[in-house]
């Protein structure tokens, strides 16, 4: 599947960017993005369905050694990396063009 043409929504972008920066687990992504669990997890599901990220389970042996349950981690696919680049370019261009007109630039 190719990367979506349209840029990602800001929240999806935030989640994807966090994963790209090697924040791999659900709760850690919430910390990094400051988004609630009810937002992050549905987005992770969407990103996985659209193959922008893929998820794996940690090796059981590793977890058993530390006496803890294995965690599921997420990583960005090649498609995801392209979509990330496209979206970042988009928002950057938008910002350069004066943003969404929400913020009033004060600095010279």
Partner 1 sequence: MMPRHRHQSDASWSAFARQTFGQGLWLVRFASMLVPACQRDEWMAEWAAELFHRIDALDVAGLLDWPARWNVFVRCAGALAHALSVRFADSRQNMLIQDIQYAVRTNLRRPAFSLVVIATLALGIGATSAMFSIVDAILIRPLPYERSSELVSVYGAIATAGAATDRTYISPPDYLDYREQSSAFAAFAARTAFGTAVLAGQHGDAPERVSIPFVSANFFSTLGVKPIIGRGFLPSEEDGNGHDVVVLSHGLWQRRFNGDRGVVGATVLLDGERRTVIGVMSPTIERTFPDQMWRPFIFHIEESSHRRAHMLRGIARLKPGVSIEQARANVDGIAHRLAAIYPEDASWHLALVPYRDIVVGNVGPALLLLLGAVALVLLIACGNVASLMLARATTRESELAVRVALGASRTQIVWQLLTETLLLGVAAGAVGLAIAALFVRVVHAVAGGILPRLSEVGINANAVFFTFALSLVTGLVFGIAPAVLASRQSLAGAMRSLGRTSAGGRHLRVRDVLVVAQVALSLVLLLGAGLMLRSLWMVEHVELGFEPRHVMTGQVTLPRTYQTRVDVERFWDTFLARVRARPGVQLAAGATALPLRGGSDTRYHLDGHASDADADGLLAQIDIVTDDYFSALRIPLVAGRVLGPVDRAGGSEEAGHGSIAINRSMAARLFPNGNAVGKRIVLDFGQPFSGEIVGVVADVHTFGQDVGAPDIVYVSSHQVAGNFDGRIMNLVVRTKGDAAVLAAPIRAALTELERTVPFSDVATMERLLGDSTAGTWFRARLLAGFALVALILAAIGLYGVLAYAVTQRTREIGVRIALGARRGAVMQLILVRGLTLVGAGLVLGVGAGLLTTRLLDRMLFGVSTTDPAVFAAVIGVLALTALAACLLPAWRATRVDPITALRAE
- Pick the closest to residue 10 from 97, 92, 108, 65 (CA basis): 92
Output the CA–CA distances (angstroms, integers) from residue 18 to 51, 75, 99, in the order listed: 16, 10, 22
Give the contacts of 103 (CB within 8 A, at least 6 positions apart). none
Q: From the CB of 69, what's the least distance to partner 1, in Å?
A: 4
Residue in 41, 50, 86, 91 binding partner 1, rule: CB under 8 A: 41
- Pick the closest to residue 56 from 33, 22, 24 (CA basis): 24
With binding defined as CB under 8 A, does residue 9 bind partner 1? no
Among 8-16, 45-53, 77-85, 94-102, the segment contacting partner 1 (CB under 8 A)? 45-53
Residue in 36, 65, 96, 105 binding partner 1, rule: CB under 8 A: 36
With binding defined as CB under 8 A, does residue 78 bind partner 1? no
Q: From the CB of 49, what's the least distance to partner 1, in Å?
A: 7
Element at 55 (helix H, strand E): strand 53-57
**What residues line the site for partner 1 (CB under 8 A)?**
25-27, 30, 36-42, 45-46, 49, 57-58, 60, 63, 67-72
């Amino acid at each position: 599947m190719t990367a979506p043409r349209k840029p990602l929504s800001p929240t999806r972008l935030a989640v994807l960017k966090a994963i790209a920066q090697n924040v791999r687990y659900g709760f850690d992504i919430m910390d990094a993005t400051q988004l609630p669990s009810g937002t992050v997890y549905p987005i992770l599901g969407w990103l996985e369905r659209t193959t922008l990220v893929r998820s794996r389970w940690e090796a059981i042996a590793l977890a058993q050694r530390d006496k803890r349950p294995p965690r599921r981690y997420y990583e960005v696919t090649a498609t995801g990396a392209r979509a990330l680049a496209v979206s970042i370019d988009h928002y950057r261009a938008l910002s350069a063009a004066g943003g969404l007109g929400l913020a009033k630039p004060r600095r010279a």
